[in-house]
Structure 1
Amino acid sequence: MSGSEILFLAHRLPFPPDRGDRIRAHHLLQAVAALAPVHVGCLVDSEADRVGEGALAALATSHCVVTRSKPLPLAGLEALAANKPVSLTAFHHRKLEAWVRQVLAERPIAAIVVFSGQMGQYVPADFAGRVVVDLCDVDSAKFAAYAEAGERPWLNRREARLLAEVEEALGHRATATVLISEAEAQLYASRLRNPTGVNVQVIGNGVDAAFFDPQEVVPLPAIAARPGPHFVFTGQMDYRPNEQAALWVAGAVLPEVRAVHRQAEFHIVGRSPTPLLRRCADEPGVTVWGEVPDVRPFLAAATCVLAPLTVARGVQNKVLEAMAMARPVLLTPEAATGIAAIDGEHWLVEKNEGKAFAQRALDLVENAAGGERLGEAARRFVLANQAWPAMMAPLATLLGFAVEGQRHAA
């Protein structure tokens, strides 16, 4: 498709790739930019989030980054008045909407790539080119799970119902609707009231194994100098499932481990820890590090990396990163979805029960050599199965661009 260009829309600035959704959006954008000139429209939560705008400008032919300044209560009122999900009104911005119209009017846009369902609202109904929507995972199911758990049940049930309608409408609008794993694709398809004409595809998450290379990283001295064992959990710590997982480890798992190993420590690593998590720092053996410039030294210093999520959609980047760093990973079945690793060979999977999870951790501590073998097997697994270029290979066909026509973005 010589001379054709692509419009890329994302709910967050895809630079730097330092959190789950940004990591996937970043690599998706890199793959798109290798196919054709790309115009990028996205939002940031604050002016501080614009730190990656220079890198975006170097990649994109043009771009528009707007600050999402609408207060959540106002977004909620707009959503109620318009009978829309709060997720849509919170990410609507008139300036970005006008920029999209201008780009479509002035540039030879042959395809639009939409990252996350919130951004589908910017695709005009009369656009005649291809539209690829990367839902990543089924957001409506996540809100339904929150409601079932008793968390703001009326609001979350409403959000789940209306988001499900949006997700289905996007499926009918799109040339292809992409999910992050077979499990998410099946879940999405199972929730469609009318599946006819919805083209569901899977593009998995990858990992940058050259960056997450244990041979290139020195374990954090502040941790490595202490006797341990050391258990590490990473993530965006104001994200509810991460917060709940870390609180559970601190309250139900670590005490069981410390009953056997009094010097065991739990390290909570990631930006924006909630007040509840910050209070965990008062508990014996718990350190809340908050935002760090580089997560790799923490992973390298870990006896074991934990991922005990009970609500998890898609593929967990934190798990792939720890595996790439050749660390043994202990995780729940929910956090294991979307990665075809084998329990006992590439990682350890245990149910969300405090004593059982703690015992699996203790078994790992007692068998240090086995843990090292597990970590080495984990790295071999991600090198063979989870490289980003292999994950993104189907994108060219979905967008209608021949692979041989790829170019290198400058």
Structure 2
Amino acid sequence: MEILFLAHRAPFPPDRGDRIRSFNILSYLAARARVHLVAFVEEDGAIAPEHRARVDECILVRRTKPQVRAAAEALATGRPVSLTAFADCRIKTAVNDLLARRSIDAIYAFSGQMAQYLPGQFPRVIMDFVDLDSAKFAAYAADAHGPMRWMMQREARLLHAFERQVAGRVTASLFVSEPEAALLPGSLAVENGIDTLRYDPALVTPVPADHPLIVFTGQMDYRPNVDAVAWFAERVMPLLPDAHFAIVGRAPTPRVRALAGPRVTVTGEVADVRSWLAAADVVVAPLHLARGIQNKVLEAMAMARPVVASPAAAEGIDHAGTLRVAVQPEDYAATIRELLAGPEQADQLGTAARRQVIGRYGWDARLKPLDTLLGLGPA
């Protein structure tokens, strides 16, 4: 069987949320079929041999279109910016060429931006939206003002129409969680998993910590992460005078870097995020806007850390009470103080979290529905 895999960002290395999902899906498919990859990359660079070996043909196109140009194209054509930002004739040519040369049995499109490259008719197409982007922009619009509010509303409206049109012509539409799938009728949830062999606290040396350590991990130029750490540093940390807050993740924005101080560390990119998770007394995920299942929460749970998360970050995760949920700054502070004051209780919560993740979120188990959807044979 031959599968064409389209991705808005090359699936390797699996070092951020979307790439972790796409990498594991691609690996699952490649163990059962011949996979050809067409994807964007954000910068030129060599592909590790073990990653290149997972696919047959591999066509990577560097995405260089400035956001201003994408916005101008969107306004001129009546399309969403999310699509014009990823509109590239080189990708279209590569897709058409592969479909003409190879006996492609199925197409797997990862992220809604790649739906624009799907042929008009094809017998088996899986559209992995991951999250419903139109809902994300609707949430952005609610917090925006002036022209930006208009742009976010426009994006939400146009994307919603596009998502519904795409869902109506593919074999299956997938989302990362049941609540997300429910937003587009007829869709299915294929949840994220976690590599519990890699995320094992027994294999990692924690970074040194002189004070009770609270850790947040994530891509730090992603708006929901930026808003979350700024809110936590400004609203919660003043209530926890004896604790230290570490913001761990690549590409911190100026707003994030400005949070650094005597009790807040902004690491930037680190060699191994597991060392920071292993050192954490508590891991927090105070996201006000979160779509689908949060990898950062699963990773912390797999590392047997006690997690305190917002309702949005906890939604979609079958945590069975193995993480704590908080809303207001006072809720976070009280819960974190309780965990810091009772290390045995915190350890029990973390141990239960790891046990839950092992039993519920192994990648092979999560991706098993793809066998039926794609007609895959055994690995």
Identify if the C-alpha distance between structure 1 residues 55 and 11 changes in structure 2 by more than 3 Å, giving closer, same or farther. Answer: farther
Amino acid at match of 1:359: A
The residue that corresponds to 2:31 in the other structure is: 34
The residue that corresponds to 2:68 in the other structure is: 73
| C-alpha distance in 2 between matches for 1:406 and 1:61 | 19
User: Residues 333-361 of structure 1, C-alpha deviation per residue, up to 9 Å, x if partnerless?
Assistant: 11001111133xx111111x111211111
The residue that corresponds to 1:7 in the other structure is: 4
Q: Does 1:87 align with 2:72?
A: no
1:237 to 199, 216, 220: 220
2:193 to 184, 187, 206: 206
Query: 1:281 deviation in Å?
Result: 0.8
Of 80-89 and 6-15, more deviation after overlay is shown by 80-89
Residues 208 and 388 of structure 1 are in contact (CA less than 8 Å); yes or no, is this contact kept in structure 2?
yes
Identify if the C-alpha distance between structure 1 residues 24 and 210 changes in structure 2 by more than 3 Å, giving closer, same or farther. Answer: same
Residues 270 and 291 of structure 1 are in contact (CA less than 8 Å); yes or no, is this contact kept in structure 2?
yes
SS of 1:188's equivalent in the other structure is: coil
The residue that corresponds to 2:280 in the other structure is: 302
The residue that corresponds to 1:278 in the other structure is: 257
User: Residues 190-225 of structure 1, C-alpha deviation per residue, up to 9 Å, x if partnerless?
Assistant: xxxxxxxxx41110010000000001001113x2xx
SS of 1:187's equivalent in the other structure is: coil
Amino acid at match of 2:259: C
Amino acid at match of 2:115: G
The residue that corresponds to 1:328 in the other structure is: 306
Q: Does 1:394 align with 2:373?
A: no
| C-alpha distance in 2 between matches for 1:355 and 1:12 | 39
| C-alpha distance in 2 between matches for 1:406 and 1:122 | 29
| C-alpha distance in 1 between matches for 2:198 and 2:315 | 23
Query: 1:99 deviation in Å?
Result: 0.8
SS of 2:183's equivalent in the other structure is: helix
The residue that corresponds to 1:135 in the other structure is: 129
Residues 35 and 396 of structure 1 are in contact (CA less than 8 Å); yes or no, is this contact kept in structure 2?
no
The residue that corresponds to 2:358 in the other structure is: 383
Amino acid at match of 1:397: T
Query: 1:53 deviation in Å?
Result: 5.8
User: Residues 55-111 of structure 1, C-alpha deviation per residue, up to 9 Å, x if partnerless?
Assistant: 442111101100000111111111111111111111111111101101100111010
Amino acid at match of 1:31: Y
SS of 1:39's equivalent in the other structure is: strand
Q: Does 1:183 align with 2:155?
A: no
Q: Does 1:356 align with 2:352?
A: no
1:291 to 258, 261, 269: 269
The residue that corresponds to 1:220 in the other structure is: 207
Q: Structure 1: which 4+ aligned runs deviate by more than 3 Å?
A: 50-56
Residues 13 and 53 of structure 1 are in contact (CA less than 8 Å); yes or no, is this contact kept in structure 2?
no
Provide TM-score, normalisation by structure 2: 0.97
The residue that corresponds to 1:251 in the other structure is: 234
| C-alpha distance in 1 between matches for 2:38 and 2:128 | 15
The residue that corresponds to 1:314 in the other structure is: 292
Pairing of 1:38-187 with structure 2 (within 5 A): 38-47=35-44, 50-52=45-47, 54-126=49-121, 128-150=122-144, 152-187=148-183
| C-alpha distance in 1 between matches for 2:188 and 2:315 | 17
Amino acid at match of 1:29: L
Query: 1:188 deviation in Å?
Result: 2.2
| C-alpha distance in 1 between matches for 2:337 and 2:221 | 28
| C-alpha distance in 2 between matches for 1:349 and 1:92 | 40
SS of 1:8's equivalent in the other structure is: strand
Residues 320 and 356 of structure 2 are in contact (CA less than 8 Å); yes or no, is this contact kept in structure 1?
no
SS of 1:208's equivalent in the other structure is: coil
| C-alpha distance in 1 between matches for 2:233 and 2:78 | 40
SS of 1:306's equivalent in the other structure is: strand
Q: Which has the higher contact order (CA 8 A, sep 6+)?
A: 1
SS of 2:231's equivalent in the other structure is: helix
Identity percentage of aligned residues: 48
Query: 1:242 deviation in Å?
Result: 0.3
Of 55-64 and 379-388, more deviation after overlay is shown by 55-64
Query: 1:54 deviation in Å?
Result: 4.1
Amino acid at match of 1:240: R
* Count of matched residue positions in the alignment of Structure 1 and Structure 2: 377
SS of 1:173's equivalent in the other structure is: coil
Structure 1: tracts of 5 or more residues without a match: 190-198
User: Residues 382-410 of structure 1, C-alpha deviation per residue, up to 9 Å, x if partnerless?
Assistant: 00000000000000111123xxx234xxx
| C-alpha distance in 2 between matches for 1:53 and 1:159 | 36
Of 147-156 and 386-395, more deviation after overlay is shown by 147-156
| C-alpha distance in 2 between matches for 1:55 and 1:85 | 36
The residue that corresponds to 1:338 in the other structure is: 316
| C-alpha distance in 2 between matches for 1:245 and 1:164 | 26
| C-alpha distance in 1 between matches for 2:164 and 2:239 | 45
Q: Does 1:406 align with 2:378?
A: yes
Identify if the C-alpha distance between structure 1 residues 88 and 54 changes in structure 2 by more than 3 Å, giving closer, same or farther. Answer: farther
SS of 2:168's equivalent in the other structure is: helix
The residue that corresponds to 1:196 in the other structure is: none
| C-alpha distance in 1 between matches for 2:295 and 2:237 | 23
| C-alpha distance in 1 between matches for 2:51 and 2:279 | 32
Amino acid at match of 1:244: D
RMSD: 1.2
Residues 224 and 290 of structure 2 are in contact (CA less than 8 Å); yes or no, is this contact kept in structure 1?
yes
| C-alpha distance in 1 between matches for 2:275 and 2:46 | 23
